[in-house]
């Protein structure tokens, strides 16, 4: 299990000589890989785990959340014995700004694959991701779909964090496929131990495109290109 106490120092680096200059330049500004930063972040978020509600921590991940308007947001994600915990963490101020708890026995579907958009959408996204659903009978409302600040969606979507290639250790920490496998196994176990009345037990795993129903997204394009959803050193400041 990966925790703050056994977090390997090889995960923590400010540069990567084994990669080309562009990659080193692109990733060095991220605050999460700086020495000691991620250790402290993991300690802070683990302190928020309620063992009576969540059980013990099984694994820790560094992910990029993709919202329904195609905005990327840096997240620390914990898989525990009973919950999926998603944290918005400020790596500059060393503070957890937001926490989302998803009981694993409510997770009923996991889809994974490339991203897709409506036919007339001007947006695009490369790579693959994973989407976790916890209420297959509830669809987002029309109002929520068109509200960029809506948070009442019965699913959450992750993709690879941009620092995934700076070292083998970070590749493991941001591995979406391994995350999906561990989440599926943990959720299946909880479905057996603590079934929810009225819900079908078990987790359906689907390999299919992940649909983002957004058409025009100047703000998401601007934000994603400039990595505004990540804590980074920007000149003399960090955001």
For 149-205, write each residue's pLDDT tens digit.
667 789 999 999 999 998 888 899 999 999 999 999 999 999 999 998 877 788 999
Q: What is the DSSP letter of 139?
A: P
Per-residue confidence (pLDDT) for residue 68, from 0 to 100: 78
The whole-number average pLDDT for the span 23-35 is 72
CA angle 211, 217, 218 (to 5 degrees): 155
Could you tell me what percent of the chain has a pLDDT over 70? 77
Question: CB–CB of 111/136 below 8 Å?
Answer: no
Q: Is the domain defined by 27-224 classed in CATH 2.60.40.10?
A: no
pTM (predicted TM-score)? 0.83
Q: pLDDT tens digits for 109-157?
A: 999 999 998 888 777 888 999 999 998 666 666 566 666 666 778 999 9
What is the number of other CB atoms lying within 10 angstroms of the CB of residue 47?
9
Domain segments of the chain as ranges: 27-224
Per-residue confidence (pLDDT) for residue 21, from 0 to 100: 33
């Amino acid at each position: 299990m990966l925790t703050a106490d056994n977090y390997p120092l090889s995960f923590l680096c400010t540069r990567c000589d084994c990669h080309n200059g562009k990659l080193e330049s692109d990733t060095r500004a991220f605050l999460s890989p700086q020495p000691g930063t991620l250790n402290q972040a993991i300690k802070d978020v683990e302190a928020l785990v309620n063992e009576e509600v969540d059980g013990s921590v099984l694994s820790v991940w560094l992910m990029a959340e993709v919202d329904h308007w195609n905005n990327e947001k840096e997240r620390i994600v914990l898989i525990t014995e009973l919950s999926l915990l998603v944290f918005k963490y400020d790596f500059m101020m060393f503070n957890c700004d937001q926490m989302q708890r998803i009981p694993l026995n409510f997770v009923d579907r996991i889809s994974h694959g490339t991203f897709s958009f409506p036919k007339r959408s001007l947006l695009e996204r490369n790579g693959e991701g994973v989407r976790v659903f916890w209420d297959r009978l509830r669809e987002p409302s029309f109002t929520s779909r068109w509200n960029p600040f809506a948070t009442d969606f019965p699913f959450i979507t992750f993709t690879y964090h941009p620092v995934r290639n700076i070292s083998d250790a970070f590749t493991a920490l941001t591995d979406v496929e391994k995350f999906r496998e561990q989440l599926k196994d943990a959720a299946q176990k909880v479905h057996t131990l603590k079934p929810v009345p009225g819900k079908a037990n078990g987790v359906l795993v689907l390999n299919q495109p992940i649909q983002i129903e957004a058409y025009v997204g100047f703000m998401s394009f601007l934000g994603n290109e400039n990595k505004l959803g990540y804590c980074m050193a920007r000149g003399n400041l960090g955001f």
